[in-house]
Structure 1
């Protein structure tokens, strides 16, 4: 047993300095600010399909570096998006010229065949995306669409009289429309597709069909596009249809493969083939050519990185595309015959508005050394600008940001700028306002004052749910993952190798031991997420021999559609390697209201002793998940909690690494096996910001107290400190609030020392939370909860009749569901899994009997 010291010394001079820093920070961030700070609103609400994967794989990113190229009609220039604007560059030069500059994030240029116009997308910061048209002679832009819809994928017909594009207009589903264009003005629309009903929900895609990414035939009579019409998995197949009203009715499929939005077909100028991007079951997207009538694709690029957005040159001899070989994206040109490849170098940028330069340095206020951090920037136009070597990110809360190693330089429009540095949960954020002056350099140092030092008390933080590469625009590496964790002040990275549909990402990094990039201060271990949609996803930590296949089950229309093996089987295989396992991102609401989806198999594995922890905080609702967890504890099962945000860290729009994390007590030394043992023993708490200290009679999380049968008074000590204000700090006993910690005036700290009466066996946790989003917590609301301290009176077990019945109902429901499932390969498989369910049921029946008087 180790009783930690205070989270912070209240009279410490550094703490007083920190309060002054945070007071300044609060004043700055109470000033009027653009929408997005401190709010969590659904991104792109007009779209009824897709969610996070659609946002990242399909919609245009606000990229620091080049994205979405388009040729000029004469083949001498390329237009592209970069830093939220449309740019062009003349081949053979290294100077890029900015063509648009607005408060929107502009992307997806399409150059008209006569060279006079560029149609492009303009995103109103996660709310809607409109089409605009740029007059290249005058520089003026005007709107082609209006309203709050998503309008993307513009492409000109060869005669320059029409554009085809994709819109959610009318019904919220992605469909293809044709818009006549006369002298830069939009004409009456023609709808080519409708959202047919598949008949049931599809994994990640729902019931309604989507139709996206059109490309015209050279004669303007046909369109090739992507659609999941009649297809159970992925964004669909390549189809060909006449460019006429409701042409989908006459469409024919020319290539069926499992896609994920990245396809971007482009019809060749000679009309015989298309170029497109495909992963074809591998980790990375490469370029392929395919006859327009169908047939076998032929691979054009090779490499362990991605190749996106291919476009034929007007003469058909070259292909421009986007590569992420070196991490961030860059433009490359591939000779269609000969294979020579050239990078489009950008050495100089010519802006169409006054720009200045910001040099920012982040220091640790105590050591005066530079330190890595998360950076928020809002320029005078309301947008975020990032350094050339930084990945532009949008967090779970919808806020734009980047990570710095300590010093960064960026360009931004002249005018006022707000900038903030954030470093994990143990430093107060630091913010400032500066004025950017045209053609000048502004220098700023932000000092981060330490709020707490948990490692000094033996407590270390880590995320148990990080993905490195997952089909995003960034080609991520272990080195970069370590830098991101440093910026978020997180010593432990539990990376999870996983499938995304029919491919396995980052499997080559598995070692069965710490990754060699680990240091004495930061640990990286490649683990596994096993992702069956029916049972619920589980993480497997500390695998030492090999990854566990088939990585998932229950995928409709595949050879792994069966619900065999069960999660129980997989968890037992993991245990045989010395690993631990638990359910991740479990519930968005009360499970019985959603057919127990999210972590459907949880009570089975709790009863059978195969689950070691529950990921209380992740991409799910913390309160809804905690209610289920409390019921489990009430039945006498000792299940600790961990946190892991499910950061897919090479996506631009994702939860940030470490925003939901685990704190575990390791003592004097950071050690991977110590970390695993701390989770096994329940020496943990999960948090997205608030830091906890909790003990009863000197016992901490995961420990037990044994009292006489009649019970006795015990001494409770609870403390909380947080970088953001909270609304409640409470001690729970068997899920009910028994004590409230009085919050200090700023609602960022609380403390309670009190004796309480204990008369029956039970568990106790410390919970802290708010009810709304608070910047810079990248989550819907602040939250933290400790693993339990267990108190036993007279050796009596912890039992609940109500909660035992709850889980019996649950197991009965999923047993019926499993029995009716059509994916079983044999009766033997079904019998095996159903017998596990019945074995778990017997355990809860026994707990029910023990709960009754």
Structure 2
């Protein structure tokens, strides 16, 4: 473990920036789709505030998780005592035994989550599971003789396990409900049922869980499962839960407490009965309350909320509802600590916010007490013990770290070089340090840019509660000029609908503009980004949701694009492709992109987004070859209130040449015109005969190019692409972070762009791999590439498969919806067939929707 830690520090903090090949998902042994949901909404995460809580038997003290450790604190006190502190690992989800002598908990070490037991008398810790699975939500039976928990052991799915427990550990371990494959086609959830959120009845005979047999959406219903005869399980309440309902029966056995949205946008506490009586709300508010636990006498409820934005621990009186925060004003650590004060300044000596990663000598991440801790969604296990954790520092910021060696990494967008520092922090003392950032912008001749992330979700069910003002601060820390919050549903909820507006959000600052748009959700046709809407939010916000009232594949994306354009909107395809579509071999191919492009309903495509950039670029190149002036946008798809996200905000961004204007109208005009480049790190400049990306030049002949590269990370490949083919490869030297070149090329029409990319991941770019691409410079009006006929035939084959998938759907609301859909797709396919046959088509040239 120490060797891996040292390698990680060398890779992350050195100036070499060598790309690495083995970036893998966090907890890759889990076999469930859409990890960005269950990882945040279900699994424990490292937060600077409290995460989970358990009462001690007297009901006057709590054990809770915070910042990767377990802590004990009296309800009437302000001192928290650290109980666990494991190097290379983070602890969460404590459950205290009724005799008060021990606590079981979950420990994440970068490879797995195992269950451990802490002896509260001796302080000794022992593992209960060691199989390398993901084991979470441990709950001791009232008599302390059995343990229930959720494990992926043996299947990769979340199943309910029960075992006897004694001083020697676990015995008679068994999967209580077994594996069951659903007959439903599920999208966000596994084909196999799960059972999560266990808790015991007061008599120890029944487990209350959340499970989803024959449920298409949500994590399922509330169930009562007799431990001695699990086949006799009984449904308590039907509801669309969202991973963390965590039902728990009151000590009196008459009230079942759980967390729910129940048609609202925020999760609050509700009460039903073991018989499933109509639930009544116990708490209210436009923020989340979750992870609730009864006190042993039933007089109090402890829970975690995010009313302040960060997580906090609250205790509420059951009668009367009076509540107060459990604040660890004083912390008694298990090891000597030191304090750091970090002051970050830009090239002008002015303080600036930035993203910061701090690693202590225990290989654990640290942050200020009030900062939001975030974590990457993948990492190279040869280089790191766990994924990178980071926070946004509003300079100056202060934090406590273990005494000894500390590593720091500061990043402020892409224009600034990463700042790194290794230092010794003396115990009991404060160390102040200044991070002076150095800018390396592109030469001004290449453009006057603003940067924009066109795809952010401000709130999406995560640990934190975000606001437009905080989103503006996140953007500022990432040196992002325009943050576009796309309001969207998470199944039955639309978390940010109250923030939707057509003008700039009042929380915008001169340096960070916040706008609200919309993502149209249909995983049948592909997702749309709807920007710059001038009048209203479009409903329904989704289609083709099987087994719901919105099951019909109509409206198509094309129909929605028309409605968006009618109110001045800008329409794009977002996070398009993880792999290159194959019209011959793909089991199903229903993406509508080719049809909407040839019908001029698409203004941009996220070549860089929550997808594979190179796969998406291959589709984009084929569209460019047909003369479609389709611009690249970029969007991170960051769930900006997550503790564990594919991010941060601005990870994938588009740089738009607005001539220095910083308003959204100018940004949208530049986006549609293709004046810019997309990147997750490298900055690219391209001039072709003084023409910039988006411009149109003469068709054939010799052209003079100038290129520039400035990058915060080392770049392996820098290439000029002509009509989808590499025509010039530049030999990068030095640190591969800065390059300028000029020369001449003979080009015969079509388009030219500049791209930079690496073969593999780089730990300094929290993405699949470093990548950047300019928009094309066009060589002549409506000049098709030599491969245009083949490309058109490929898209015609693609649309044949899309028509096949659309025709097979049996859930259109009316025959007219089906006919309209199939006619639209057939018309587009015929247009591609005409192009494949060499026939002219007005659809093959640039047009306005």
- After TM superposition, the score normalised by the length of structure 1 is 0.93
Q: Is the 8 A contact 1:306 1:325 kept in 2?
A: yes
- Tell me the distance in 2 between the aligned counterparts of 1:520 and 1:591: 42
Q: CA deviation at 1:128?
A: 0.8
| Structure 2 residue 791 is matched with structure 1 residue 810 | no
- Tell me the distance in 2 between the aligned counterparts of 1:27 and 1:322: 37
Residue 512 of structure 2 corresponds to: 522
273 and 716 in structure 1: CA distance in 2 versus 1, 3 angstrom threshold: same
Q: CA deviation at 1:37?
A: 9.6
- Tell me the distance in 2 between the aligned counterparts of 1:581 and 1:69: 45
- Tell me the distance in 1 between the aligned counterparts of 2:43 and 2:364: 18
Q: Is the 8 A contact 1:636 1:799 kept in 2?
A: no
131 and 795 in structure 1: CA distance in 2 versus 1, 3 angstrom threshold: closer
- Tell me the distance in 2 between the aligned counterparts of 1:717 and 1:674: 26
Spell out the pairing of 1:15-414 with structure 2 (5 A cutoff).
29-30=13-14, 40-50=23-33, 51-103=35-87, 104-125=89-110, 127-183=111-167, 185-199=169-183, 201-244=185-228, 247=230, 249-364=231-346, 366-397=347-378, 398-414=387-403
Residue 809 of structure 2 corresponds to: 821
- Tell me the distance in 1 between the aligned counterparts of 2:417 and 2:169: 52
Residue 624 of structure 2 corresponds to: 633
- Tell me the distance in 2 between the aligned counterparts of 1:741 and 1:609: 35
SS of residue matched to 1:145: coil
173 and 793 in structure 1: CA distance in 2 versus 1, 3 angstrom threshold: closer
Find 2:428's aligned residue among 433, 436, 439.
439
- Tell me the distance in 1 between the aligned counterparts of 2:98 and 2:532: 57
Which deviates more from structure 2 when the two are superposed, residues 200-209 or residues 59-68? 200-209
Q: Is the 8 A contact 1:799 1:847 kept in 2?
A: no
Gaps of 5+ in 2: 1-8, 379-386, 841-849
- Tell me the distance in 2 between the aligned counterparts of 1:598 and 1:377: 44
Which deviates more from structure 2 when the two are superposed, residues 824-833 or residues 110-119? 824-833
1:644-668 deviation per Cα after TM superposition (whole angstroms, max 9, x unaligned) = 1111010111111001000010003
Gaps of 5+ in 1: 1-24
Find 1:706's aligned residue among 674, 691, 698.
698
1:569-590 deviation per Cα after TM superposition (whole angstroms, max 9, x unaligned) = 1010000111110110011112
- Tell me the distance in 2 between the aligned counterparts of 1:27 and 1:567: 44
- Tell me the distance in 2 between the aligned counterparts of 1:799 and 1:46: 42
458 and 253 in structure 1: CA distance in 2 versus 1, 3 angstrom threshold: same
SS of residue matched to 1:189: strand
SS of residue matched to 2:837: helix
- Tell me the distance in 2 between the aligned counterparts of 1:338 and 1:517: 36
- Tell me the distance in 1 between the aligned counterparts of 2:12 and 2:642: 30
- Tell me the distance in 2 between the aligned counterparts of 1:178 and 1:680: 57
Residue 544 of structure 1 corresponds to: 534
Q: Is the 8 A contact 2:476 2:511 kept in 1?
A: no
Q: Is the 8 A contact 1:742 1:752 kept in 2?
A: no
- Tell me the distance in 2 between the aligned counterparts of 1:796 and 1:570: 29
SS of residue matched to 2:498: helix
- Tell me the distance in 2 between the aligned counterparts of 1:68 and 1:578: 46
Residue 738 of structure 1 corresponds to: 727
SS of residue matched to 2:364: coil
SS of residue matched to 1:310: strand
- Tell me the distance in 1 between the aligned counterparts of 2:487 and 2:782: 45
| Structure 2 residue 490 is matched with structure 1 residue 470 | no
- Tell me the distance in 2 between the aligned counterparts of 1:110 and 1:783: 45
Q: CA deviation at 1:201?
A: 4.2
631 and 718 in structure 1: CA distance in 2 versus 1, 3 angstrom threshold: same
- Tell me the distance in 2 between the aligned counterparts of 1:450 and 1:32: 18
- Tell me the distance in 2 between the aligned counterparts of 1:396 and 1:515: 29
Residue 845 of structure 1 corresponds to: 833
Q: Is the 8 A contact 1:763 1:788 kept in 2?
A: yes
Q: Is the 8 A contact 1:742 1:750 kept in 2?
A: no
SS of residue matched to 1:321: strand
Find 1:653's aligned residue among 630, 644, 648.
644
424 and 38 in structure 1: CA distance in 2 versus 1, 3 angstrom threshold: farther
- Tell me the distance in 1 between the aligned counterparts of 2:795 and 2:16: 49
Q: CA deviation at 1:775?
A: 2.8
315 and 184 in structure 1: CA distance in 2 versus 1, 3 angstrom threshold: farther
1:67-106 deviation per Cα after TM superposition (whole angstroms, max 9, x unaligned) = 1110111101111100100001111111111110112110
Q: CA deviation at 1:260?
A: 1.3
- Tell me the distance in 2 between the aligned counterparts of 1:31 and 1:612: 39
- After TM superposition, the score normalised by the length of structure 2 is 0.94
Q: Is the 8 A contact 2:117 2:126 kept in 1?
A: yes
Which deviates more from structure 2 when the two are superposed, residues 347-356 or residues 795-804? 795-804
Please tell me the root mean square deviation across aligned C-alpha atoms, in Å.
2.2
Runs of 4+ in 1 over 4 A off after TM superposition: 25-28, 35-39, 453-457, 593-599, 793-799
| Structure 2 residue 536 is matched with structure 1 residue 555 | no
Spell out the pairing of 1:532-681 with structure 2 (5 A cutoff).
532-592=522-582, 595=586, 600-654=591-645, 655-681=647-673
Residue 716 of structure 1 corresponds to: 705
- Tell me the distance in 2 between the aligned counterparts of 1:326 and 1:572: 40
Q: CA deviation at 1:487?
A: 0.9
Q: CA deviation at 1:32?
A: 13
Q: Is the 8 A contact 1:227 1:238 kept in 2?
A: yes
Q: CA deviation at 1:303?
A: 0.4
- Tell me the distance in 2 between the aligned counterparts of 1:214 and 1:403: 35
Q: CA deviation at 1:255?
A: 1.1
Q: CA deviation at 1:228?
A: 1.2
Q: CA deviation at 1:436?
A: 2.1
776 and 851 in structure 1: CA distance in 2 versus 1, 3 angstrom threshold: farther
- Tell me the distance in 2 between the aligned counterparts of 1:691 and 1:440: 41
SS of residue matched to 2:24: coil
SS of residue matched to 1:604: helix
SS of residue matched to 2:762: coil
Which deviates more from structure 2 when the two are superposed, residues 539-548 or residues 717-726? 717-726
281 and 599 in structure 1: CA distance in 2 versus 1, 3 angstrom threshold: farther
1:537-589 deviation per Cα after TM superposition (whole angstroms, max 9, x unaligned) = 11001011000111111112210011011110101000011111011001111
Which deviates more from structure 2 when the two are superposed, residues 527-536 or residues 328-337? 328-337
- Tell me the distance in 1 between the aligned counterparts of 2:782 and 2:808: 45
Which deviates more from structure 2 when the two are superposed, residues 265-274 or residues 182-191? 182-191
